[in-house]
Structure 1
């Protein structure tokens, strides 16, 4: 392709498919081009974590011809895309505006570089290797879910939580940690997005701490009770937002296009209120 020529949707999709082959995605996943005309020209791309009404509005506001999203709009089967449904409204809005939509999800998670590499880079981790090496079509060349690496210097769990909060995009949820606050952390496993399914992998790897999103009460508690690594839990959106910068830079290097990265926080939690510890007498008064 002429370096000065504006690419088509098909050309950008082909390049993304080559970098994140659809065969690398989990069998339940839905990746690739969701909607859009293959022969439409692409001069501006918007990269987002979630394709939701707010980011669809942003795409129209910045004049994007293509949205590259991490999370699939149509992950679960639907029987209708009627304009009075949540997903239908988004699809109709984008189609009317001639904005194409492409998704790279679990195929971008296992890629090298992929979603967790970008997260690890935010923390300055070095010596990266997969937390759960890929199998099947994606196996090899350092691919797999999550990453394990070394911090630039040791930190206590308390200080690491503050460091992570400072390095990731700010959200109402913030960053919470589980384990001894004074525990010294040198090796860290990270996973962009929901990561409690990789708790056993983090334990087997012998890392000092594991950072991901969407940790649940019982799996986290049982993991710690079994002397597993300390845990850090951040907002789902915040752990995947760093990937947008990486894929945006790659797209700019491939095509003569403008690439905009969305900073709209699409995490559903919008308020965080920390309760102050109460004395036993105060608690007795409340419950009396």
Structure 2
């Protein structure tokens, strides 16, 4: 009988698709509630952990909730039902439902959270608004007797060196001649003490993550035949991690007025409200966007030459400041600028689960976690004048 999927299998799967290492330092991704060894037959994919999504997980028999927004985003000093996060975590634990979060590691991915907005607007020459820097790398250069090069390369690759993208054992070698004269106290693997020796050697070069330096050097010392191993460690200049990064910026195929772009977003996003800051008739071409709460990238959008910035959760004064610098904004809401990305996340997880032979059912949540409702003057109860009107206690509006 086949073993069931485990929570740990799905933690590893999510990390393969959306590496925890890609998350922002301040973020709280990974397993928040649950035992990694527990079996999983159904996984519920959702944007937020709420009483409604937990009830949905309970009804569907899900043993794991995979949420975009972390349940335990801020540290808790105690786990009690006195806080929303505490109450939800306790409920999940009592129902034996594990909770896993993939947040900014999804935001920066290709495709990431912002890409549905990019696709909806038809932006071209798109790049990250805040590129994710690649992990620090080092180049290892060592010198090996030719007959030992293959064994040393195998050892170094096993310790994590020589990986470039989807390729491992990546190296460069060139033949040369090494010279040395061992002292009387030396114990040379090759050559004679007190004599100048010449040995056919290979110069062997590999790149490695900086964090793997210690195990790689240890593997080099263990595998190399020489008593004294000659090697250089050369720090490499940082570079962007491919196309990963928060937000996106690109150009429209042709300049368009803000009102038309706002109408397209209002029709294409699951937004119950959409706010436009700027002259609706202004024509723009370069657009920046960030799914969710993107106020922190306002400066990056302006520096990228964006004439319009599309995001959610913009505050009053930040919006006024941006307008004063000449950049228009559309606030389409946090939920509406992130929820459209979940189908792509679902497809990617299904593909990787199939490749790994995992069989748990992946169920997209049917719960809409947009907390806001529409409210307008027409919603005022019949017979009651709106607050601040001339009929309100006989006073005019302040």
User: TM class by shorter-chain length?
Assistant: 0.7 to 0.9
Deviation at 1:232, TM superposition (A): 0.4
Contact 1:108–1:115 (CA<8 Å) still a contact in 2?
yes
TM superposition score normalised by structure 2: 0.64
Aligned partner of residue 320 in structure 2, secondary structure: helix
RMSD: 2.6
TM superposition score normalised by structure 1: 0.86
Aligned partner of residue 141 in structure 1, secondary structure: strand
Provide Cα deviations, 1:10-34, integer angstroms capped at 9, x if missing partner. Answer: 1111121122222222222111011
Aligned: 1:234 with 2:332:
yes
Provide Cα deviations, 1:171-190, integer angstroms capped at 9, x if missing partner. Answer: 3xx11111111112333211
Deviation at 1:49, TM superposition (A): 1.3
Aligned: 1:191 with 2:290:
yes
Q: 1:21 & 1:137 partners in 2: Cα distance?
A: 12
Provide Cα deviations, 1:56-111, integer angstroms capped at 9, x if missing partner. Answer: 11111222221111111111111111245422221122122221111111222222
Deviation at 1:121, TM superposition (A): 3.0
Provide Cα deviations, 1:225-265, integer angstroms capped at 9, x if missing partner. Answer: 1212x210011111111221111111121223432222433
Q: 2:282 & 2:310 partners in 1: Cα distance?
A: 15
Q: 1:95 & 1:220 partners in 2: Cα distance?
A: 41
Residues 1-288 of structure 1 mapped to structure 2, 5 A cutoff: 6-135=4-133, 137=135, 139-151=240-252, 154-171=255-272, 174-228=273-327, 230-255=328-353, 256-273=359-376, 286-287=396-397
Q: Which has the higher strand share?
A: 2
Contact 1:112–1:141 (CA<8 Å) still a contact in 2?
no
| Compared CA separation, residues 6 and 189, structure 1 to 2 (3 A) | farther
Q: What runs of 5+ residues in structure 1 fail to find an aligned partner?
A: 276-281
Q: What runs of 5+ residues in structure 2 fail to find an aligned partner?
A: 137-239, 354-358, 379-389
Which structure: larger Rg? 2
Contact 1:31–1:104 (CA<8 Å) still a contact in 2?
yes
